[in-house]
């Protein structure tokens, strides 16, 4: 059963990145949930900062605080974006949920 842990971790990671945002959109942006969902999916582009790392992917590396778009300064900007209305707020929710997903992926599941 423990050998399934990496698979469960991976499924959880991608579920939180790709599927769970539809529930966030339905709950918090009901009137424009489709737009909100696609904007939140687009926030996955934040992972482009991984391309500047060597190696690009390292399972023992915590994204939070390492990659520049995953830095604490960037997260502070994403938090401030919550105070704007409309699209900037949706982007902020998507980015912050992305950071939360990456945080739990490393810190709760281990490396």
What is the 3-state secondary structure of the chain? CHHHHHHHHHHHHHHHHHHHHHHHHHHHCHHHHHHHHHHHHHHHHHHHHHHHCCCCCCCCCCCCCCCHHHCHHHHHHHHHHHHCCCHHHHHHHHHHHHHHHHHHHHHCCCC
Instruction: Give the pLDDT confidence of 43-82 residue by residue, as tens digits.
Output: 999 999 999 999 998 888 899 999 999 999 999 999 999 9
**pTM as predicted:** 0.91
């Amino acid at each position: 059963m423990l050998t399934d842990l990496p698979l469960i971790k991976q499924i959880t990671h991608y579920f939180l990145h790709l599927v769970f945002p539809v529930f966030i959109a339905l709950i918090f942006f009901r009137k424009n949930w489709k737009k909100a969902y696609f904007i939140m999916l687009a926030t996955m582009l934040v992972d482009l900062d991984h391309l500047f790392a060597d190696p690009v992917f390292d399972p023992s590396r915590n994204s939070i605080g390492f990659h520049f778009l995953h830095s604490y300064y960037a997260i502070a900007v994403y938090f401030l974006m919550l105070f704007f209305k409309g699209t900037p707020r949706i982007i902020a929710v998507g980015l912050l949920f992305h950071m939360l997903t990456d945080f739990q992926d490393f810190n709760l599941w281990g490396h």
